Amino acid sequence: MMGILLLLVYLLAGVFMTRCLLPRQSPVIRVYLGLALGMFLLMWLPALLAFLRPFDGLTQTLSLLPLAGLATAAFFGRSRQTARVFDETDTTALRLLAMVALPLTVIGAYLLHTHILRPEGGALYTGQATYGDFPLHLSIITSLPGKTLPVDYSILPGVRLGYPFLVNSLSTTFLILGLPLRWAVIVPSLLFFALVFAGMLLLALRVCKSPGAAVLATLLVFLNGGLGFLYAADMAGVSLGSAGSNQLQQGVWLDRLRTILQGWYQTPANHAEFTQYNLRWSNIIADMLLPQRTFLAGWAVLLPCLYLLLDMMKEEEWDARQLVLLGVLAGGLPLIHTHSFLALGMMSAGFVAHSLIRKRAFTPWLIYGGIAVVLALPQLIGFTFTQSAGEGFLRFQFNWVNNPGGRGLNDAYLFFYLKNIGLPFLLLIFALFEKNAWHRRLFAGAFVIFVIAEFILFQP
C-alpha cells in the first residue's frame, strides 16, 4: 500500500509541475507529460539519495523532500500564460486513446500476467520472450535493498553494475515498500506500457496531418512485422522440414501453425534457424517492450522528449520552460536506457543540421543540448563508458544484421529489408520523394539514425 501511495504522490506532483510549466499545452497533453515526468522522478530521486545512504524505506520517504522542492520551484517559476482549456482536440485525443492505446495496454497487461513470475502448480513461470532477459532484471531488483550505490552485479561480484538500472531500482522501491516481487515488476511496467502506447499516439497526432494518419502510424509501429510468415505457407501440402532443420516448414497447414504458436523460437521473426531464413525483425511489443525493461522505460521517457522537441520545432516557438524540461528528461535517459539517449542525440543532430542549412534559430539547441549533456556526462563516464569500452560496444560493420562477421550479405540489400519489415518498407522508399517541408525536416532526424545504425554495430 505504501508503494502505491508513493507512486500516486509522484504522479500527482508530475501533473502539477507540467500544469505550472506548460500552460499552452492542451489538458490531455499536460496530464500525459505530467505522468511521464512523475515516473521519471520516481526512478531518479530515490536512486540519487541511494548514492548517499542505503536504498531502503527511509530513502524512499526522504525522496519526497527533493520532489517537494522541484514542485515548489515549478510553482514559483510557473508561466503566467493562461492555461489552455479542454477543447475539441482533447476530445479527439481521448477518443483515439480509448480506441488504440487502451486496447494495446490491455494486451500489455495480459502479457505481463503470463510472463512475469506467473504462479502455477507451486512453481513460477516466465515466457519465451522473457526467458533470457528476466533473470538479470530480477537479480538487480533483489540485490539493491539496503545497498548504497554504486553496486556490483550480484551475478558477477567484483564487476560494477554498468547496465542502466533505474527501471529495476524503481521495482526495488515497490519491493521495499511491501509489494510482492511479481507486482513490484508488473505495476511500473504496466504504467510504462500505457505511457508508451499513449505517447506514440499523441506524438503522431502532433506531427501528422490527420487523426487517421496518426492511428495508422501508431499501429504500424506496434503491430509491426515482416513477410517471414510466407515461409510457413503450405503451397504443396507436404512437409518440407523437421525439428531443427527447416522446422518452420515441418508438417502441413495446421502443423506449421502449431509450430509457429508453440515451437521454441519458431515464430517467423528472429527465427532460431537464422542461416535458413535470415529473419531478424521482431515485433516491438513481444520482443522489445515486454522482455527488455530498459527499452520500455526508455521509450516512456523518449516519447515525451520527442513530443516536447517536435512541438517546438513545428511551431517555431522555443518556450524556455519547455526547453529546460526537455533537457532534463533527455539528460536523465542514459541510466534508464542508453540507446534511447543515443537515438535522441542522433535525431537531434539531424534536426540541428537541417536548422543550420535553413538558417533557423540555433540558440535553443544549445540550451537543450547543453542541459542534456551536463546531466548525462556523469552517467556516461561513471557507468556506460566503463562497461562498453571493455566489450567492443561500438565497431564498424556495414548492414551488420544481414552481414554477420563482415563476411558478405546473406540476402540482397533491399530484399532483406523488404522481407523483414514488409510493406511499410516500400512506404519508406516512397517517402524519399516527399516534398512537404515539415516531413522532410522529420526525415532529417530519422535519416541520421538509419545511416549510423547501418554502418556501426551498437552492441557487444
DSSP 8-state assignment for residue 242 = B
Are 293 and 158 part of one and the same domain? yes
Nine-digit cell string for 301: 521517457
Has residue 310 been placed in a domain?
Answer: yes
Q: Which of 456, 125, 105 is nearest to 289 (CA)?
A: 105
Has residue 440 been placed in a domain?
Answer: no
Least confident of 142-151, 192-201, 437-446: 437-446
- Looking only at the bridges linking them, the beta strands covering 156-160 and 395-396 are unpaired
Compute the chain's Rg from CA coordinates: 23
Contacts 24+ apart (CB under 8 A), 415-418: 416/278, 418/226, 418/227
Q: Which of 228, 459, 226, 419 is nearest to 339 (CA)?
A: 459
Half-sphere exposure of 70 (CA within 13 A, CB side): 22
Percent of the chain exceeding pLDDT 70 equals 95
Are 60 and 123 part of one and the same domain? yes
- CA 183/CA 189 separation, integer angstroms: 9
Q: What is the reported pTM?
A: 0.93
Reported confidence tier of residue 184, pLDDT bands at 50, 70, 90: very high
Distance, first Cα to last Cα, the chain: 41
Are 12 and 121 part of one and the same domain? yes
Has residue 344 been placed in a domain?
Answer: yes
Between residues 330 and 391, the one the model is more confident about: 330
Between residues 271 and 173, the one the model is more confident about: 173
Q: Is the pLDDT of residue 392 over 60?
A: no
Reported confidence tier of residue 456, pLDDT bands at 50, 70, 90: confident
Averaged pLDDT, 103-120: 95
Are 331 and 234 part of one and the same domain? no
Tens of pLDDT, residues 287-320? 899 999 999 999 999 999 999 999 999 988 999 9
Contact 384, 345 (CB under 8 A): no
Sign of CA dihedral 85, 88, 93, 99: positive
Whose cell is 487523426? That residue is 211
Percent of the chain exceeding pLDDT 90 equals 60
Q: Residue 216's pLDDT is what?
A: 95
Are 76 and 210 part of one and the same domain? yes
Has residue 428 been placed in a domain?
Answer: no
Tens of pLDDT, residues 412-439? 998 888 888 888 888 888 877 878 888 8
Q: Which of 358, 389, 420 is the last residue of a domain?
A: 389
Q: Which of 270, 302, 337 is the last residue of a domain?
A: 270
Q: Which of 194, 224, 342 is nearest to 284 (CA)?
A: 224
Q: Residue 336's pLDDT is what?
A: 98
Contact 333, 376 (CB under 8 A): yes
Q: Is the pLDDT of residue 61 over 90?
A: yes
Averaged pLDDT, 41-59: 97
- CA 443/CA 199 separation, integer angstroms: 20
Between residues 395 and 418, the one the model is more confident about: 418
Nine-digit cell string for 385: 563508458
Range of the domain at 249: 227-270
Chain-centroid distance, C-alpha 388: 20
Q: Is the pLDDT of residue 390 over 90?
A: no
Are 151 and 167 part of one and the same domain? yes
Between helix 437-455 and helix 293-315 the angle, nearest 10°, is: 150
Are 362 and 238 part of one and the same domain? no
What is the DSSP annotation of 20-46?
HH-TTS-HHHHHHHHHHHHHHHHHHHH
Are 76 and 139 part of one and the same domain? yes
Are 360 and 299 part of one and the same domain? yes
Has residue 31 been placed in a domain?
Answer: yes
Q: Is the pLDDT of residue 323 over 60?
A: yes
Averaged pLDDT, 113-132: 87
Reported confidence tier of residue 68, pLDDT bands at 50, 70, 90: very high
Q: Which of 451, 445, 458 is nearest to 365 (CA)?
A: 445
Q: Residue 232's pLDDT is what?
A: 78
Between residues 103 and 414, the one the model is more confident about: 103
Has residue 429 been placed in a domain?
Answer: no
Are 244 and 294 part of one and the same domain? no
Q: Residue 269's pLDDT is what?
A: 65
Are 357 and 374 part of one and the same domain? yes
Alpha helices in 82-180 (DSSP H): 88-96, 102-115, 134-143, 166-176
Q: How many domains would you assign to the chain?
A: 2
Q: Residue 430's pLDDT is what?
A: 83
Has residue 437 been placed in a domain?
Answer: no
What count of other Cβ atoms lies within 10 Å of the Cβ of residue 394? 13
Has residue 43 been placed in a domain?
Answer: yes
Q: Is the pLDDT of residue 368 over 90?
A: yes
Reported confidence tier of residue 274, pLDDT bands at 50, 70, 90: low
Tens of pLDDT, residues 192-220? 999 999 999 999 999 998 999 999 999 99
Q: Which of 303, 304, 267 is nearest to 287 (CA)?
A: 267
Are 329 and 316 part of one and the same domain? yes
| pLDDT, averaged across the chain | 90
Sign of CA dihedral 83, 13, 323, 29: negative
Sign of CA dihedral 299, 116, 287, 93: negative
Q: Which of 361, 389, 417 is the last residue of a domain?
A: 389
Contact 188, 174 (CB under 8 A): yes
